[in-house]
Amino acid sequence: MKKYLVNAFSIQMLSGSATVEFKEITPKDIPTDVVSAIGHIDTANVISNILGFKIDMNRINISLDKNTELYVAQLVGGRLPEGATTLPEGSSFRFYKVTLI
């Protein structure tokens, strides 16, 4: 099973028509062996601090299939300031597990 962590979901991750389920989870539900697909260093640093383990910046394209566990860290409340290692006041991350049905 492939496991990826992203900070956004894109329809381009699908190969065609599909039904997708989003299930809100907690940071503790993110497996430590997840492969990062986080494209910005500041986002990776903040998520690392939240999860308690290292998340690298890793700009890769993801294709979602039945053998993929996709975890999304969705920033709520604006953009991260440049150089951020913690969340600015008023911002938070919501975490989701995304699966094909």
Angle, vertex CA 19, rays to CA 16 and CA 21, nearest 5: 130
What would the pLDDT profile of 71-90 be if each residue is shown by its tens digit? 999 999 878 778 777 787 88
Domain ranges for the chain: 2-100
What would the pLDDT profile of 11-69 be if each residue is shown by its tens digit? 999 988 999 999 999 999 999 999 999 999 999 999 999 999 999 999 999 999 999 99
- Taking residue 55's Cβ as centre, other Cβ atoms within 10 Å add up to 23
pTM of the model: 0.91
Q: How far is CA 89 from the centre of its chain?
A: 20
What amino acid is encoded at 81 in this protein?
A: P
- CATH number corresponding to 2-100: 3.40.50.11170
